[in-house]
Amino acid sequence: MMKKILLSNLVLASTLLTACGGGSSGDSVTTSDGTTVTSNGGTLTGGVSKLPATVNLTCKSSNTFKGETEDMTMITESGAEGSLEARCNDNDFSVKQGVPSLNIKAAKVVDYWFCTDANNKDALHGFMHTQDLTKGTMQSIWSNGGKAYIKCDYSYKSPLPSTISSDSSIEDLLDYGIDQDPNAQNCTYSTADQNSAVSCSDTGLDRWVIGTNATFTDDNGGVHKLSEKTTWITTKH
């Protein structure tokens, strides 16, 4: 599940970073997929300055990969509330035992991908996708140093109501919006912040975090939440 989210976010981030290059000028730029992004002539609201809050992350595992000049530690965490549970050994989610299925009538999913330095964890650079699956809408915001830099809206056909009963049906609902590959609408970027753009490959940005938070509401009004987060930390020798 996390691999799909990571790849999706990397592709979208790469697309918009291409738009932010030195070739942009005037009141609009064109992304690598041909989308025209217009400037609002000032700053944008909605920038992310800290990682989203999660439910209690009851599952946690850590692996360190040794290198010649630096080591990479990957920390995977997840948790769930309501009638959902995080399965630590399988790194996925399921409906709790004794609950055959949940009929979901409303859902919100937030996917995020950020890089930052270890000494200033709130100086975030990256993407957040906020989806309302009930309406079939998504808003994506690219932030640099906590300030919004590019903002786009998307729309697609709502998948709800939908029944979840297994890890695969939960994953399908979490990934639904991004899997639709919707066309960007109402995109705008901030010329005021253009020169402050930071690439995640810059020296000193040694921490990458990707994650998903979701809230599902069933047809009886029950609320069920889940969170998953993976952090990569680079440590030089």
pLDDT in tens, 103-124: 999 999 999 988 876 665 556 7
Identify the pLDDT of residue 131.
93
Identify the pLDDT of residue 15.
43
Biggest CA-to-CA distance, the chain: 59
Alpha-carbon torsion 45, 43, 6, 117, what sign?
negative
Of 11, 8, 34, 31, nearest to 21 by C-alpha is 31
β-bridge pairing 36-39 and 185-189: parallel
**Contact call for residues 95 and 88 (beta carbons, < 8 A):** no
Peptide bond before 100: cis, by omega within 30 degrees of 0?
A: no
Identify the pLDDT of residue 45.
78
| Residue segments in the chain with a per-residue pLDDT below the cut of 50 | 1-26, 32
The mean of the pLDDT values for the chain is 78
Question: Which amino acid is it at 120?
Answer: N
- 231, β-bridge pairs: 75, 209
